[in-house]
Amino acid sequence: MIDWNILIDEADIASVLPAAYAHYRRPIKRALTVFLEGLSAAQQQAVLQDQAMLPPTATVFERVGRLVRSCPALHKLGQTLARDRRLLPELRMQLQRLESLPPSIPLNVIGGILTRELGPLDRLGVTLDFPVLAEASVAVVVPFRANGRNEGVFKILKPGIEERLEHELGLLERVGTCLDEECEALGVLRLDYRDTAAGLVARLRHEVRLDIEQRHLAAAGSTYASDPRILIPALFPFCTPRVTAMERVHGVKVTDHRFDSDRERRACAELLVGSLIARPVLSVGDAALFHGDPHAGNLLFTRDRRLAILDWSLATTLDEKRRVAVVQLALGAVTLDAARVAEAFVVLSEPGTVHLPTVMPIIVAALEQLRKIGLPGLLWLIDLLDGAVQVGVRFDATMLLLRKMLLMLEGVIADLGANRTCIDTVLLGDFFASIAIEWPYRWLVPPNNRAFATRLSNVDLANLMMRLPETAIRYWLGRASRW
């Protein structure tokens, strides 16, 4: 039996954490120990062998990168954190390598999987185009030609990945339970770590559901069909639950593309925000489709200067009720109305988890911050939700995935050279453009009707206009207190 408690050094963990998070070294060590001890003996030995392959001079950052690569669940979490600006640059560099890895699956194994899933490829008019393009956390990507002309790629699940990922996701839930039981001894906040982990695990299970991804791809193709700047790979007819056949995209990661000017880089960042956030938020349909995994490996800048959005396995939809609640929360923030923000929290959270005496101080403090800095932005909203979580509010898997998606996208945008305000500038511009488009139709609907892209009724707008003078004075007083 391997004693991971001895092998994992707290000082090494502290060395890869920013100073502000160094006090989390103990819970991180405990979490890693619980996770690794839960792996099978063969998997534990494989992890050690991976570490042994590194030279003695390897840095702690390199060893963390190799460890994360060894386990599909950790690989996925590593991709999520790869562009998080709160992490040290050396660690981010190692995690960013997880966005696209060289293949490790033998070609004969890949050919065998395709034959079992699709039958003889020549009957489909398909010829494989080696070498393999890339390997991800759960799948490998192989190029092909259909009928000698059309270029495509197969996304193929790795052998045995479903069972392995399921086991590792179960270990993440066990880690959450452990932190819940020992948070005081470990010096971490008392949160519902198990429930949070369970919500994320439920979404991560979709990673190996290629049939679900295929449905998301088809829906995304329809959603973005009218935008010539966006490319969603088209599906070929020969797909199975373990193999997705889709159009091949020629391009590079947006963060690796050599733009001609800062203006072009900013335009690309604005396109990312507009397509991945503003479009679904301001869609007219009842359910908005969000891409749930926008790391740089899934965002390519193509040869014809389009943005290709790949890998829709973790996509999620935000229903009408939540979209209205998000808008109401934003209205409450703009008008500095704490009660309105609290009402939105009740809709966005799991039943019974909003305890007003503990939540209201968090809301009031966040609104006080707005009085000094100005209008609320999307990242201000994330900070507010994080504060609510720390006092016991629980959000479901959809909201957690959206938070993860926004943080990942913020990191990609920062690596493009744009700052945080880019997100809010684009959203605000698109929001006012949508109001202008809606305006003629507002005369034709009942006052409380919210069937608009902005999810604002005429009553909402009237209330906002009536409160503008009072709100302006409160903002002015907040700014004056800084002088």
Query: Do 324 and 198 reside in the same domain of the chain?
Result: no
Does the pLDDT value for residue 417 go beyond 70?
yes
Q: What is the pLDDT of residue 8?
A: 87
CA distances from 115 to 132, 160, 240, 257, 385 (A): 16, 17, 12, 36, 48
The residue with greater pLDDT, 22 or 328, is 328
Strands 134-135 vs 139-146: parallel, antiparallel or unpaired: antiparallel
**pLDDT cut 90: percent of the chain above it:** 38
Q: What angle in degrees, to the nearest 10, is found between the helix axes of 397-415 and 72-81?
A: 60
Query: Do 322 and 197 reside in the same domain of the chain?
Result: no
Q: Sorting pLDDT into bands at 50, 70 and 90, what band is 466? A: confident
Does the pLDDT value for residue 275 go beyond 90?
yes
Judge whether 246 lies within some domain. no
Mean of the pLDDT values across residues 87-105?
84
Q: What angle in degrees, to the nearest 10, is found between the helix axes of 161-186 and 193-204?
A: 160
CB atoms within 10 A of CB 336: 20
Does the pLDDT value for residue 208 go beyond 60?
yes
Q: What is the pLDDT of residue 189?
A: 65
For 421, the 3-state DSSP assignment is helix
Judge whether 193 lies within some domain. yes
The residue with greater pLDDT, 3 or 211, is 211
The answer to whether the CB of 68 falls within 8 A of the CB of 91 is no
Among residues 174, 204, 234, which one ends one of the domains?
204
Judge whether 243 lies within some domain. no
Does the pLDDT value for residue 233 go beyond 70?
yes
The answer to whether the CB of 179 falls within 8 A of the CB of 193 is yes
Phi/psi region, residue 238 (left: phi>0; alpha: psi -120 to 50; beta: rest), is beta
For 302, the 3-state DSSP assignment is strand
The per-residue pLDDT for range 154-176, each reduced to its tens digit, is: 999 999 899 998 999 889 888 88
Mean of the pLDDT values across residues 339-344?
92
CB atoms within 10 A of CB 480: 10
**pLDDT cut 70: percent of the chain above it:** 94
Does the pLDDT value for residue 215 go beyond 90?
yes
Judge whether 42 lies within some domain. yes
Judge whether 413 lies within some domain. yes
The per-residue pLDDT for range 280-315, each reduced to its tens digit, is: 989 888 888 999 889 888 999 998 899 999 999 989
Judge whether 262 lies within some domain. no
Mean of the pLDDT values across residues 307-326?
91
Mean of the pLDDT values across residues 386-411?
83
Give which of 176, 216, 3 is closest to 73, Cα–Cα: 176
Strands (E) in 62-172, as ranges, are 126-128, 134-135, 139-146, 150-157
Does the pLDDT value for residue 476 go beyond 80?
no
Does the pLDDT value for residue 276 go beyond 90?
yes
Nearest-angstrom CA–CA distance, 282 and 452: 8
Q: What is the pLDDT of residue 457?
A: 92
Does the pLDDT value for residue 483 go beyond 50?
no
Q: Which two tokens stand for residue 346?
A: 């009740």
Backbone phi and psi for residue 155, each to the nearest 5 degrees, phi listed first: -100, 115
Q: What is the pLDDT of residue 144?
A: 93
Nearest-angstrom CA–CA distance, 296 and 415: 10
Q: Which two tokens stand for residue 131?
A: 């070498």
Backbone phi and psi for residue 329, each to the nearest 5 degrees, phi listed first: -65, -45
Judge whether 106 lies within some domain. no
Q: What is the pLDDT of residue 190?
A: 61
Q: What is the DSSP letter of 130?
A: S
Give which of 257, 253, 256 is closest to 297, Cα–Cα: 253
- Mean pLDDT of all residues in the chain? 87
- Between 60-69, 128-137, 141-150, the lowest mean confidence (pLDDT) is in 128-137
Q: Sorting pLDDT into bands at 50, 70 and 90, what band is 98? A: confident
Query: Do 71 and 196 reside in the same domain of the chain?
Result: yes
Q: Sorting pLDDT into bands at 50, 70 and 90, what band is 151? A: very high
For 451, the 3-state DSSP assignment is coil
- Between 352-366, 388-402, 467-481, the lowest mean confidence (pLDDT) is in 467-481
Q: Which two tokens stand for residue 367?
A: 């609104």
Nearest-angstrom CA–CA distance, 317 and 288: 5
Q: What is the pLDDT of residue 474?
A: 64
Number of domains in the chain: 2
Q: Sorting pLDDT into bands at 50, 70 and 90, what band is 143? A: very high
Query: Do 341 and 197 reside in the same domain of the chain?
Result: no
Q: Sorting pLDDT into bands at 50, 70 and 90, what band is 361? A: very high
The per-residue pLDDT for range 423-463, each reduced to its tens digit, is: 888 888 898 899 999 999 999 999 999 989 999 999 998 98
Structural domain including 439 reads 318-480
The residue with greater pLDDT, 176 or 182, is 176
Judge whether 115 lies within some domain. no
DSSP string computed for 344-413: HHHHHBPTT---HHHHHHHHHHHHHHHHHH-S--HHHHHHHHHHHHTTT--B-HHHHHHHHHHHHHHHHH
Q: Which two tokens stand for residue 238?
A: 């020969």
Does the pLDDT value for residue 481 go beyond 60?
no
For 458, the 3-state DSSP assignment is helix
Cβ burial of 6 (10 Å; 0-12, 13-18, 19+) is exposed
Sequence-separated (6 or more) residues with CB below 8 Å from residue 438: 452, 453, 454
